[in-house]
């Protein structure tokens, strides 16, 4: 009986460790803020991604739609207050894991600023993109976590949508 209980405990511990390793950044960040009711997380499923791609419209950006089709999921984390606090907290967590997340670039506009980080497989293929943004005028925080097949063109489109590169990136 003891052996069975010991074996079950080891299996459960292993499964828990494997599940935590598979977490995306947004899940980790929300887990750190689990007592905080101002932080909200929205997950966009693969089915919803398909619907975004198939939505018609004359003004749609075909390049962006092709990029969205390659995504597996998206998580959007936001807080309507204390934007700077959450921005610093998210960036500190990203910097705490330099073996997992690599700095890509910053962006800045009159109203907001932010950073992009990515996670790559050993092959160099980007499989996760994290954008952390703080809006100065209304003190909001937004974190967008994308997983899937992410290429440089997609990152460039996103950075153009969110603002100009900072002088440090040029």
**pLDDT per residue over 90-100, tens digit each?**
999 999 989 89
What is the overall mean pLDDT for the chain? 78
**Tens-place pLDDT, residues 119-169:** 988 888 889 999 999 998 899 999 999 998 888 877 777 777 765 444 444
What span, in angstroms and rounded, lies between the C-alpha atoms of 87 and 113?
10
Q: Tens digits of per-residue pLDDT, 28-72?
A: 999 989 888 899 999 988 777 777 667 756 656 676 677 777 788
CA distance 149 to 127: 6
Residue range 123-136, pLDDT digits in tens: 888 899 999 999 98
For residue 64, give the 3-state DSSP assignment: helix
| Maximum CA extent, the chain | 67
pLDDT category, 11, cuts 50, 70, 90? very low
- In the chain, pLDDT over 90 holds for what percent of residues? 35
DSSP letters spanning 127-143: EEEEEEEEETTTTEEEE
pLDDT of 137 reads 84
pLDDT computed for residue 85 by the predictor: 94
Percentage helix, strand, coil, to 5, in the chain?
A: 45, 30, 25
pLDDT confidence of residue 16: 39
Which residues have C-beta within 8 Å of that of residue 37, sequence separation ≥ 6?
Answer: none
């Amino acid at each position: 009986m003891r052996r069975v209980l010991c074996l079950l405990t080891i299996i459960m511990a292993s499964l828990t460790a494997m599940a935590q390793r598979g977490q995306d950044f947004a899940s980790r960040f929300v887990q750190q803020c689990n007592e905080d009711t101002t932080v909200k997380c929205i997950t966009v499923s693969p089915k919803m991604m398909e619907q975004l791609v198939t939505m018609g419209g004359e003004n749609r950006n075909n390049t962006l739609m092709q990029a969205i089709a390659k995504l597996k999921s998206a998580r959007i984390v936001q807080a309507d207050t204390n934007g700077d606090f959450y921005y610093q907290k998210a960036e500190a967590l990203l910097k705490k894991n330099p073996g997992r997340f690599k700095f890509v670039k910053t962006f800045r506009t009159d109203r907001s600023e932010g950073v992009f980080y990515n996670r790559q497989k050993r092959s160099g293929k980007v499989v996760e993109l994290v954008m952390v943004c703080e809006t100065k005028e209304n003190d909001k925080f937004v974190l967008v976590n994308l997983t899937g097949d992410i290429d440089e063109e997609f990152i460039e489109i996103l950075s153009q949508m969110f603002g100009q590169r900072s002088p440090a990136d040029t």
